[in-house]
Amino acid sequence: MRQIKIVVRKELRYLLNRKLQLGVLILMAIFLTVYYTLRSQRVPPILASPVVFLGFTYGLSMFVFRSEQTNRAVECLFASPLEFKQIFFGKVAAQFLLAFSSELVVFLVTSGIMWVKLGELPTPRTGILILLVVPIWGTLFAGLLALGYIILGNPMLIQIIGIGTLSGVLGLVSRGKMVNLVAYLIKTPLLPIMVGLAGLVVTYYLIENMDREWLIEKWKHSAS
């Protein structure tokens, strides 16, 4: 655990110094908050928070897993006493902390907007969905994207998949089709929680049993 904390601190310093990229993500969060607020008669403003979480998760995941390639420091990273799983989960944890913090801020802001405009607050089950289910699945999404980025050696393909997924979510939300799905998940939050946790366990097992040298070579050349 101590080794993972070291990686988390390193990645947080790296991400917080990426002021331009963070600025773009923050502007996205502000835009989505305003957008869903203006459409509050069709779509609950609170749906902005999970979209913000997924957007931050995707953007930050690409930053943290390309940083060593940008600096050509993959070999140096693996020359340290850290295991691959510690590096991997440290990077995922760092982007999760920033993404979840952003989601929590938007959740509180949109909850206040719902209270002012609609005279109601999110139910506890809605809070569980947004603050527990979405982060679990968002972290699984980020982990699989990062693993695919390393293994497939094609960052453009991974970016297309990530952007396509986010565009699909935005399209469903903007058309109001996500509301029915959200209503169903609010009634049965245990199922997506258990499935998401199972996915995280499977991801951990895959990373635990992958060959270190093979992963190093894949990571070194995945930007080429």
Enter the pTM of the model. Answer: 0.78
32-60 pLDDT, tens digit each: 778 777 765 555 667 778 888 888 887 78
- Evaluate if residue 151 carries a pLDDT over 70: yes
- Strands, DSSP E only, in the chain? none
**CA separation (Å) from 35 to 30, 86, 168, 220, 222?**
9, 39, 17, 40, 36
- Nearest CA to 135 out of 182, 45, 197, 181 is that of 197
- Evaluate if residue 84 carries a pLDDT over 80: no
Domain count, the chain: 1
| Domain limits for position 155 | 2-221
Token pair, residue 11, equals 């990645």
